[in-house]
Every structure is written in structure tokens, then in C-alpha cells.
Amino acid sequence: MTDPAFLALLHHARAERWCMDPYCTTCEPAEFREALATFAGEDRSRLVTALATMDLADWFDVHNADGAIRMSLGALGSLELVNVVLEAWLPRLGDQIRIADVVLNRVVRPRREALAVAERWIDAAADLAVRVEDPVLLEHLIFTLREDFVRRPDLVATARRLRKGAPALHKALQRLKSVPPSA
């Protein structure tokens, strides 16, 4: 269950239209960063607990869930704390494609070697991508796994089946030299 105070912070940010783009060069999302820092406290334990116990569906109440997730995880300040949160999210990921994709593409992929939970997150995202046949998640799995993507026959078969209706997925598959173009 989501910490009511953290949920209130997210709803306030939405109501006030705070920027949640972590790389915004116009406003450098100061309000949201400051609110996260205040909420987190000095040792960040309050934020760790709030994120780890959060109902993942609550992210969809935020106007920029992708940025809010990235900024919230970034506010933890260490990969060890990010691991704690992602470990807690894994068993509750379910069919949350958007959450799986944001974490895979924006958190796990750039820090794959440093995150203890990375390979389990990749496996969960891969299972989800195959189960729901999501072309964007498959494309991001290609970017994450690179040539290892072809060692996952379930991913390759699903991506090949979906490539015609998904130009970005088709292009990502073309970049992998070891995947034959046939559907």
C-alpha cells in the first residue's frame, strides 16, 4: 500500500504541474527534487520505504510517471537503495508494462553492471514482453541485451512476429546482425 504522504506529494506535484523531467534545462525540476529530498529525510529511509511499498498502479496518477519514477529512484542517492526498491517491486510487477519499461530502459540498462537486481529485472521484463507482446518493451530489451537478445528464442520469435507493425522494433532488429529478417 502506498504511503499516504508520498501519494499526497505526487498528487500535489500533479496539481501544481511541477516539472518531472529529470533533464529539463528550463526549470531543472527544482520543486519536485526539493519535495523528494524533504520527504526522504537525511538517511532517505522514509523514501525507500514509501517506494518499496508503493502500489505500482499509483504511478499512473502522475502526469509524467516516467520522470517521477526516475527522479524518485535518483533521490535515493545510492544504487544499494535503488536495489532495495526494485527488489520489492519485482514480485508485484505483474502486467505493469510502463513501469517495467521505464525501469529497464532508464534505470537498469545504464547501470546494468552495478545493479544487483539487473538480471532479474531484465528476465521479468522479457517474460512480460513475450506475454503481452509489447513492441516498445521488446525494442528496449534489444538495446539492453544487445547480441544476447538472440540467445532468447522466445524474445526473438515474439519480436519477429511483431516487427511489421512496429517500425522502431523492426529497425532495432535490423541492427542485430544475427537475427534473420524473415518473419
Dihedrals phi, psi of 121, to nearest 5 degrees: -65, -40
Regions of the chain short of the pLDDT cut 70: 179-183
pLDDT at 33: 92
Q: What pLDDT was estimated at residue 85?
A: 98
Question: Among 127, 169, 131, which residue's Cα sits nearest to residue 152?
Answer: 127
Contacts of 98 (CB under 8 A, 6+ apart): 59, 60, 65, 66
The predicted pLDDT at position 25 comes to: 87
E strand or H helix at 132: helix 118-132
pLDDT for the residue numbered 177 = 72
> Cα separation of 111 and 147, whole Å?
18
pLDDT number for residue 28: 72
Q: Where are the domains of the chain?
A: 1-81, 93-183
What was the pLDDT predicted at 183?
43
Q: How far apart are CA 165 and CA 147, in angstroms?
A: 23
Cell readout for 148 is 544476447
The pTM assigned to this predicted structure is: 0.92
* pLDDT for residue 180: 57
| pLDDT, tens digit, 9 for 90 and up, residues 131-158 | 999 999 999 999 999 999 999 999 999 9
- What pLDDT, on the 0 to 100 scale, is given for residue 181? 57
